Every structure is written in C-alpha cells, then in structure tokens.
A and B are shown apart, each in its own frame.
Chain A
C-alpha cells in the first residue's frame, strides 16, 4: 500500500520524474564509464607491464684519434690517416651505480665457439671459399718479396683442399721492409689470397695471412704478451718442428681447421636482451623460449636456429653437446661471422702457442627453435647464421684462459633491462656519473608513450567517475528537495492520519528510490556497453608497434600486434550503480528525517494552501 501510493504520487509529476530519471541515468552512465575505464586502464597497465620490457644498450664511444700508417708494396703507396678509436675498454661495473634499478644488470655478452665436427652448417652443395693455407716453400733466386715473387710450393702443412699448382705468386704486400728470401732455404708461411691486384700472368697474389703470435686476452681485457706476433714466415731448419716456433706452426694448422666446425654460442641472462629477439624479428617458432627460471637456475637448455635444426635433423627436446673452446668479448656473433656466413677465423693460438682447448662441455636440451623473419640485416645486432643461445649461468667453468678477443661495450654485446617507465629516472642518475664515453640507448617498444596514453585514460576515467558521483549527489539533493522537502505537507497529513514516522519515511523514499534504482541499473548497463567505445575513442587505438621510443637500432620490420585490452566488468558496473543507489538512500533518508523533525501541527493549521 505504501509503495503503491508512493509510486502513484511520484508518477503523477511526470515531468519532474522523467527529468530525475534521465539525469540519474546519465550520472550513473558517467560513473560506470569512469569506474570501468579506471579499472581497464589499471588492468591494461598491468598487462603492459607483463608484455613490455625496457632494455638499454650500452656503447662505448670512440674518443681517441689514432694515426695509422699503411704501406702497399703492389702500388708502392704509403698512406697515413687518422681513425677514431676507443679508449681503453670501460668495465661494465661502471654502470653499477647507486640508484640503478636493474631487472637484469648490464653484462657484456660473450659469444663462445662450440666445436661441432660432423654437424652440417650449410645446405650440402653450398660453395666453400678456399681460405688460408700453411705451406713450406722455396725460392729459386734470392729475392725480397716487396713485389710479387714466384715461390715453389713445398710440404703442405695445412690446406683445406689439396694444392695442385707447383708455384704461387707471393708478395709481403703490407710490409714496408720485408725480409730477404734466400734460394736453397726452406721457409714456412701461412698465406691467403690477396683480394686486390693480380700478379704477373694474371695469377692471384698471396700475402701472409697469419702469424704464430697469440692474441689471447686476460679476463680483465688485457692482451697477453707475446713476442712472435711479427713472425709471418720463418726458415725451416733441421728439427724445426721440435722447437717452440715449429710447434706453433703445427698448432696453427689445427687452429685453422676448427673454425670450419665452429658454431657461435651466445650466453645471456634473458632472450629479450638480444635485440632481434627483443624487437621480434627473431622469435621462437617451435618449442618454448628459455624461461626465467631456466635462466635463473642455469639449466642446460638452448635455442637453436631453424636452419641448424633442419640441416642436422634436430627437434625440440633433442640433446646437443656443446664443447666450448673460445670466448669472444669484443663482438656479437652476428658481427664476427658476417652476414650469412658460417666461418669466422680468429687467431687460434693461446698464450702458450697452442690451439685453444675446450674449456667447458655439456649436453644441452633444445628448448626452442627460432626463426628470423625478413632476412639478415647488415648491422651487428643480427644473429649469426647458426647462433645458439644458452643461459649464461649454465656454463660451469671459467672462460678466463680462452678469451680470443676483448673490446669495449657495444650495443650488440652489452644490454640490460630496467623497469618499464624508468628510463628518465635512470638517465638522470647515469648522467650525474659524468661518463661521457658511454652512450646508452633505450628500447621500450613505445611503452613510455602507451603509458602516457593510459595515464591519460586513467585521468579521464577518474574525472568521469568523480563527475558522475558529484553529479549524482547534486541531482539527488535537487530532487530530494523537490520530491521530499517540497512535500512536507504530505508528510504532515500522513502523520495526522496516523502514519508512523517510519512509514512516512518509507512512503517518501520508495518512489524516489525506485526511480534511482531503475535509472542506475539502466545507466550502469549503458555505461558498461559504452566503455569499450569510450576506451577506443580516448586511446585513439589499441595498437602498438615495435618502433622505439628513443632512436632505433636498425631498419626493423614494422610488426603491428593488437594487445588484448581488458574488458569492462559487469560486476563493477553494477557496483557503481549500487553506490549511486546507496547515495540516493542516504541523501533521501537525511532529507526525510529532516522533514519529520517539523511537527505536523504547525504545517496543518496553516490557513491557506
């Protein structure tokens, strides 16, 4: 009876009632929109945090000018020019400064040589270049090889393919003062084709290709001393191969052979720290990426390129034994091996004059097989043809005696990860260090911009929510006044007819609450359905791409992906509507209670309407 009369009466002021209904509906649309967008932006932010990573790459800049003198015997030219060089390599530890908040500390990523004889690295009928040879030779007449001289091929110490010619044209081309060669003596030399200029009769000229000196580095990056680096050829006498130098020549032969069966193995703490994986041009196609836990535990798992898997018939889950015998701290594998090449020769003699021995060997399980799209690009950031990725921590032996190269931090070797959105903070602190020689670039796949967009949505949603709630309160105050305060007399009459205060309260509130309830249900449903649209309008779009916030490493392929945006939540919408109803209950209750304070006595005895 109460409800019916209450509703009956409110329905008999249709204009006010409809207005109230529309306004309260609108206010709840705003509030629901606000609360949903708020939730979505928070959810998206969280999702972004999981999807996005911010990595920095470090590069030591060339700060020193070095004068270089060069001599070419073929065209008798002497050149001198200046090249900019690196100062002494800085240690990554300089980046371990106060306030640097790393997810992954900066490390110089080495790549290792894994000796894998018996594995195929190229399609079966691919062409091999000839490479260097080590031979004994003689000359017919005394001569100084400052021009092309004819030498007789003697004993072949090393050649990948048999040498079928009796003579070579030889020139100690880049040596200003070559040693004299005597007829009747036997010499040994490592030599290779000189790519420019042809000798007499159109033949290829050979030049010295490798010395028996060692270029081993210490762990600290210092070149270990060696006196034989200048020896490119020397005389072979009786018992020569028993001597220190003689042994070195034989060891060099072994050192020449191994690179043909060497696969680069990059050790890292996170796949994402390697740029092609980071920007998605390279991705794990079969199996799984190495997980965080596997990296953390140093599990013996690896990622291999699909070409390697294909040529050697390997699947995910197969085992692969990796005998590691050198460590390169100067270059990335991609850079050292060149585009699409599977051979990278280094000086393969250690400080003792021996070929580098395997320092660590373990069986790895293939966790994933990766694929690179868009072909190789020309910078050092790409992966080498057969590059294998393993967790740094999986290597349980020190590589300190097997470092064949060492150089400054480069973008393609040195990277780290910091929390998303902390680039500015990091750079501020880094710049205070005043290390001018280091340049740091960041990649966050546009996180910073996306975050700004999200913050914008968040701000807007908060505004909508507050506006909605404030509007609700104002609307309620206005209409409570209209429906309740203006009807003091009705309450008084009800009282005089014997209705209790509580009944009067309900009689007044029923109508207004019913409308508020319907309005807020419809409003919050509408808000729920509008949220998606509003989110799109506010954010422009839902796409992100792999271009970078700050510079760009290479001509990365523009890969667009849609990030699954969080969806509006019906429960939250209803809860928002609920809050509005609660507000209506509270406000109308306050107003009604206030009305009831007035004694009906005075109101009723008024003499005119």
Chain B
C-alpha cells in the first residue's frame, strides 16, 4: 500500500549569498511493509529529501503525497504527530527528560493517558531491547546504542506508519548497528511501517528491501 510519494520534488536552500539546489527532481513511491535505504555521497541531498518526506518543509517545486493527499494541503504538525516519525544520527532526545519520559512524549502529545502511555512505553522498551534500568535514566547517562533505541521507541510510540531515519547507526559500533538495523527491519516487516533509512554503510543498505542512490539531488540507477 502506498504511503508516501514524491513527484518531481525540488528543494533549494536560499542563503545570503547563493541558492543551493539540494534536491533536483525526485519521484519515488514508498510503501508499507518495506525497508528503504537511501545512499549517496555527502551533500547529495539525502537529508534534505528525508526532511521533505517528514513534512518539516515543503518542496520548492513538485509534490509529496501522503496516502494520496498533498503534503501542502494537510496539517504537517498533525502528520508528524500521527503518521511519521524521524530518527536522527545524533539521537535528538530531550536531554532533560528520562528515557521513559522521552518515549511517553509523543503519546502525551496525542492525548493518551499517562498510565496507558507508561505501559506502552514499557512495552516499547522491551521491543527495542532496552533494559528496564534505562527507564529512568537521562540521555547523557546512556550509551549511544541505548539512546538510539530510545529514539526509535519514541518514534514508534507515536504510532503511525512511516519511520524516517537519518543515519541512525552513524554513531554506533558494529554490534549496536546490527541490532538497530534488525529493529528497523522488524518495524517495516512486522509492524506495517514504511521505513526509510539514510545510510553510508553498505552493510546497512544491503539489509534493505530497496536501495535508492542519490547524486547531486537526483536519484540514479
């Protein structure tokens, strides 16, 4: 089932001195149940493209469709709250909230009751393979792998069907990398998510169902 579709998407950064065309005409369709990997050299526009899929901004040209609806027409805050979640290389957890509170955050945002959210958080912790001791730790006390698991748990906590990850294993060792990739794969295959992962690592890409190669803001074959 098609979840996300990019149609001739362009994106330019407008800086003081110049215009950088980061994405230059990408069309692609993402479906539930698959793990997609985006690869390409640095500066090829991967993160920019992912941000557009996350609805953090609108394409300068072209369209992104979410379940057939134009991203420009929908409430993008709501979209991120309910449908799509993003995981970053630098984890981006709330540093002043505990693992549990971080995971509960999107649920509370959706208005889920605290007790319910707590239970669900515990469940998610288990699913991403976190020890219960981590529950009440602050991010800076956790290892990189743990932080990324918390980030994924938080991403999944919102529910929805799209998980976007920008080099989620970039700061992790091989052992942890493998675990995270397995987690992402599971998410795509058993939880009915469309999982889109940016990576530099060929081993990670090898695990994906589909691999998109980018160069100069375009997809290449």
Interface size in chain A (residues, C-beta < 8 A): 25
A9 to B90, CA, bound (A): 20
> A609 in the interface, Cβ–Cβ < 8 Å?
yes
> A608 in the interface, Cβ–Cβ < 8 Å?
yes
> B89 in the interface, Cβ–Cβ < 8 Å?
yes
- Given A496-B56, A609-B90, A9:B80 Cβ within 8 A: no
Chain B 160-197 interface residues, beta-carbon cutoff 8 Å to A: 166-167, 170-171
Q: Is the CB of A605 within 8 A of B88?
A: yes
Interface residues of B toward A: which range? 35 or more
A443 to B91, CA, bound (A): 81
A604 to B80, CA, bound (A): 15
Select which of A8, A493, A500, A599 is within 8 A of B92 by beta carbon.
Answer: A493
Chain A 1-31 interface residues, beta-carbon cutoff 8 Å to B: 1, 5, 8-9, 12-13
Q: CB-nearest residue of chain A relative to B166? A: A605
Q: Is the CB of A498 within 8 A of B51?
A: no
A12 to B158, CA, bound (A): 25
A606 to B90, CA, bound (A): 7
Q: Is the CB of B92 within 8 A of A489?
A: yes
A165 CB to closest chain B CB (Å) equals 119
Residues of B within 8 A of A8 (CB): 96-97, 101
A515 to B89, CA, bound (A): 34
Q: CB-nearest residue of chain A relative to B198? A: A605
Q: Is the CB of B109 within 8 A of A497?
A: yes
Select which of A5, A604, A606 is within 8 A of B108 by beta carbon.
Answer: A5
Q: Is the CB of B92 within 8 A of A607?
A: no
A22 to B117, CA, bound (A): 36
Would you give the 0/1 interface string for A565-609, flagging 1 where the beta carbon is closer than 8 Å to chain B? Answer: 000000000000000000000000000000000011100111111
> A506 in the interface, Cβ–Cβ < 8 Å?
no
- Given A8-B96, A8-B97, A12-B96, A604:B88 Cβ within 8 A: yes
Q: CB-nearest residue of chain A relative to B46? A: A605
Residues of B within 8 A of A489 (CB): 92
Residues of B within 8 A of A497 (CB): 80-81, 85, 105-106, 109, 154, 158
A307 CB to closest chain B CB (Å) equals 86
A498 CB to closest chain B CB (Å) equals 3
A489 to B47, CA, bound (A): 17
Q: Is the CB of A601 within 8 A of B89?
A: no
Q: Is the CB of B90 within 8 A of A498?
A: no
- Given A8-B101, A499-B109, A608:B90 Cβ within 8 A: yes
- Given A1-B109, A607-B90, A495:B56 Cβ within 8 A: yes
A250 CB to closest chain B CB (Å) equals 115
Residues of B within 8 A of A1 (CB): 108-109
Residues of A within 8 A of B96 (CB): 8-9, 12-13, 490
B79 CB to closest chain A CB (Å) equals 7
A489 to B88, CA, bound (A): 12
Residues of A within 8 A of B88 (CB): 604-605
Select which of A12, A498, A605 is within 8 A of B78 by beta carbon.
Answer: A498
Q: CB-nearest residue of chain B relative to A495? A: B56
Q: CB-nearest residue of chain B relative to A12? A: B96
Residues of A within 8 A of B89 (CB): 605, 607
A525 to B109, CA, bound (A): 37
Q: Is the CB of A601 within 8 A of B51?
A: yes
Select which of B78, B91, B92 is within 8 A of A496 by beta carbon.
Answer: B92
Residues of B within 8 A of A12 (CB): 96
Q: Is the CB of B97 within 8 A of A608?
A: no
Q: Is the CB of A5 within 8 A of B90?
A: no
Residues of A within 8 A of B86 (CB): 496, 604
Residues of B within 8 A of A9 (CB): 94, 96-97
A606 to B93, CA, bound (A): 13
Select the residue from A490, A497, A499, A601 with max chain B CB neighbours within 10 A.
A497
Residues of A within 8 A of B109 (CB): 1, 497-499
A596 CB to closest chain B CB (Å) equals 12
Residues of A within 8 A of B93 (CB): 493
Q: Is the CB of A605 within 8 A of B105?
A: no
A480 to B171, CA, bound (A): 32
A599 to B15, CA, bound (A): 13
B31 CB to closest chain A CB (Å) equals 22
Chain B 70-110 interface residues, beta-carbon cutoff 8 Å to A: 77-82, 85-86, 88-97, 101, 105-106, 108-109
> B37 in the interface, Cβ–Cβ < 8 Å?
no
Q: Is the CB of B81 within 8 A of A498?
A: yes
A sample of 10 more A-B contacts (CB under 8 A), given A5-B101, A495-B80, A497-B106, is A8-B97, A490-B94, A490-B96, A496-B80, A497-B85, A498-B79, A498-B158, A599-B57, A601-B56, A609-B90
Binding site for B on A (CB under 8 A): 1, 5, 8-9, 12-13, 489-490, 492-493, 495-500, 599-601, 604-609
Binding site for A on B (CB under 8 A): 47-48, 51, 54, 56-57, 77-82, 85-86, 88-97, 101, 105-106, 108-109, 154, 158, 166-167, 170-171
List 9 A–B pairs whose Cβ atoms lie within 8 Å, in order of A's numbering: A8-B97, A493-B92, A493-B93, A495-B80, A496-B86, A498-B81, A601-B51, A605-B47, A608-B171
